[in-house]
């Protein structure tokens, strides 16, 4: 296990990044946005160091993504570094990601130097302090997660106050790095539990994490949103992100909308899966996303191989084609969705921000009483009383709001859209989750 005393100082890590001459993730995102081009990033991560290096090199050589991922294994995510070491020594293939802390920051630098694209750490840690310091020492300039989004979807019994305090230290370190001249891209995992996520719930959590990060000095924030499957609703949600940033974040904080391609049940037929991949890429482009996290045609079968990752990147890149500039959506419908999304987010975050409590205490208290909530949470620290549903047109609505402080007009709009659903809740949710395979007749 890497300890704090074995790590280079933040000053030394900044010097390493500067000397490398490699662009940071924040610089790459800014360049893509300025050029009006959708930046692409795959998911990838294996336990073996040589195999991880080869995987990154192969993806870059054959698909040239803008940002590359180092997905972290489950033991490291939970701080079980000794377990990660045991599995790594026995059989690295048994790990579901790369154990960076166990491999150490020097090997992390080897990964960083193996490719031209900046790396991002993707994980799921309620307490990412050791992992973050190791990543910074490795020269990695993008780090995903937050005290809500990397706790409630993943962990059963980590109190929010504990995860928020740990992530406050991560954000404070990012603020210190920014003062030293290194801006780390902090990507917020608005995807949450990924399945049937109402846009306002995703965005409300991201707003609160973004406010917390900005207060600690974070200068670059990527707000990731999960594709729900309804084009106008998803485009509206992406367009809401800069508006919410202008409303809640201080000047000088750079904000990038990010779309996660659909994270629910994928079609099994390759052609159908590729239709969905291109559809998501177009939604990202027309929603004004800076970056797209891509998927593959093998999603229905498990972890994709390298060829599928490369093919998925090539397909998603087609969204940047000038030939698709004429693709049009219903702008009136987008404007209507945007108005309602902003109203719902405001109803959720304003009581927290205006509570008179400290932000972290207010967030924990809101989840305790259900005025903040997420569906299908693994954690006992969220009520999971919010029940989503998919309307006939494919948009995701809120069937049951639980204790969310949504005004009557917002509640009625959601329930009215879901009146034609099956009365059996299990049947209805199964149908909603299987939306795309059913759409393709699979």
The domains located in the chain, with CATH, are: 4-324 (3.20.20.240), 332-439 (no CATH)
Q: Looking at 190-338, which runs of residues are DSSP E strands? A: 220-226, 254-260, 291-293
What would the mean pLDDT of 116-136 be, rounded to a whole number? 97
Q: How many CB atoms lie within 10 A of CB 34?
A: 9
User: Does residue 371 have a pLDDT over 80?
Assistant: yes
pLDDT band at residue 299 under the 50/70/90 scheme: very high
Catalytic residue among 77, 122, 239, 390: 77
Residue 322 has pLDDT above 90, yes or no: no
For residue 144, indicate whether it is catalytic. yes
Rounded CA-CA distance 258/189 in Å is 10
Residues 426 and 412: their CA atoms lie apart, in Å, by: 22
Q: How confident is the model at residue 421 (pLDDT cuts 50, 70, 90)?
A: confident
Per-residue pLDDT at 4 exceeds 50: no
Q: Quick check: 326 pLDDT over 90?
A: no
How does pLDDT run across 132-168, given as a tens digit for each residue? Answer: 999 999 999 999 999 999 999 999 999 999 999 999 9
Exactly one of 30, 43, 144, 344 is catalytic; name it: 144
Neighbours of 373 (CB within 10 A): 23
Is pLDDT of 17 > 70? yes
Q: Could you tell me how far CA 348 lies from the centroid of its own chain?
A: 20
- pLDDT of amino acid 3: 45
- Catalytic annotation present for 77: yes
pTM of the model: 0.96
SS3 231: helix
């Amino acid at each position: 296990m890497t300890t704090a005393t074995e790590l280079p100082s933040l000053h030394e890590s900044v010097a390493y990044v500067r000397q490398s001459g490699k662009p940071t993730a924040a610089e790459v995102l800014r360049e893509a946005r300025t050029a009006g081009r959708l930046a692409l990033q795959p998911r990838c991560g294996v336990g073996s160091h040589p195999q991880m290096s080869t995987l990154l090199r192969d993806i870059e050589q054959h698909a040239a993504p803008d940002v590359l991922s180092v997905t972290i294994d489950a033991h490291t995510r939970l701080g079980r570094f000794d377990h990660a070491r045991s599995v790594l020594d026995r059989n690295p293939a048994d790990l579901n990601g790369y154990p960076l802390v166990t491999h150490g920051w020097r090997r992390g630098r080897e990964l960083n130097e193996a490719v031209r694209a900046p790396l991002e750490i993707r994980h799921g840690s309620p307490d990412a302090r050791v992992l973050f310091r190791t990543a910074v020492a490795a020269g990695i300039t993008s780090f995903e997660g937050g005290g809500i989004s990397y706790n409630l979807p993943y962990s059963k019994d980590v109190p929010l106050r504990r995860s928020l305090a740990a992530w406050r230290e991560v954000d404070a370190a990012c603020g210190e790095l920014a003062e030293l001249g290194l801006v780390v891209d902090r990507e917020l995992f608005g995807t949450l539990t990924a399945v049937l996520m109402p846009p306002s719930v995703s965005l409300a959590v991201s707003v609160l994490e973004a406010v917390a990060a900005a207060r600690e000095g974070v200068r670059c924030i990527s707000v990731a949103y999960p594709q729900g499957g309804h084009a106008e609703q998803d485009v509206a949600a992406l367009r809401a992100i800069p508006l919410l940033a202008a409303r809640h974040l201080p000047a000088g904080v750079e904000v990038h909308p990010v779309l996660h391609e659909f994270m629910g049940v994928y079609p099994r037929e390759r052609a159908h899966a590729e239709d969905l991949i291109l559809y998501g890429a177009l939604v990202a482009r027309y929603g004004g996303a800076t970056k797209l996290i891509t998927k593959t045609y093998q999603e229905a079968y498990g972890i994709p191989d390298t060829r599928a990752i490369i093919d998925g990147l090539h397909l998603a890149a087609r969204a940047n084609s000038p030939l698709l500039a004429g693709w049009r959506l219903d702008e009136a419908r987008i404007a209507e969705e945007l108005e309602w999304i902003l109203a719902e987010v405001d109803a959720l975050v304003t009581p927290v921000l205006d509570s008179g409590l400290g932000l972290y205490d207010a967030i924990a208290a809101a989840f305790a009483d259900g005025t903040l909530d997420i569906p299908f949470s693994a954690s006992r620290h969220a009520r999971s009383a919010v029940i989503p549903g998919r309307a006939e047109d494919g948009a995701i609505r809120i069937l049951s709001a639980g204790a969310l402080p949504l005004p009557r007009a917002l509640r009625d709009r959601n329930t009215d859209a879901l009146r034609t659903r099956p009365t059996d809740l299990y049947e209805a949710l199964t149908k909603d989750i299987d939306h795309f395979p059913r759409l393709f007749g699979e």
